[in-house]
Amino acid sequence: MRAVVQRSLAAKVTIAGQTVGAIDHGFVVLLGVGPEDTSADSDYLAEKISKLRVFSDDAGKMNLALADVGGQVLSISQFTLYADTRHGNRPSFTGAAKPALGEQLYDAFNAKLRDLGVMVATGEFGGDMQVSLTNDGPVTILFDTEAK
């Protein structure tokens, strides 16, 4: 699984002009699923992201996690994280999981975050979404479970 995690002051996702998910502050997580990924990968990633210490403490150091600051997650399914751009100018997405597996593991990731006490808002799997956020810092962290 691949995830782009952006520390955010506020974020929302809309579909056809209607807000379907929003957070005040926390992380926007763009999540991609690969064909070899498992529920162990989604659990691992949810644990890592929930404990990621990139919020400032009283000394101004990035030392606090979501729970420490009452942060939330806006989780967006993002198969394009598996784009292959090595050949030509049009990316190939054959490296992404099939939709059934992608949706299953996306849902498992969100459920695990909720089990860990994180408030999670989502977009719509496979939907045509518009995501807006105020990136705080900016802080953007990349995760890939193949590198664990």
Active site members: 78-80
Q: What is the DSSP string of the chain?
A: -EEEEEEEEEEEEEETTEEEEEESSEEEEEEE--TT--HHHHHHHHHHHHT---EE-TTS-EEE-HHHHT-EEEEEE-GGGG-B-SSSSS-B-TTSPPHHHHHHHHHHHHHHHHHTT-EEEE--TT---EEEEEEEEEEEEEEEGGG-
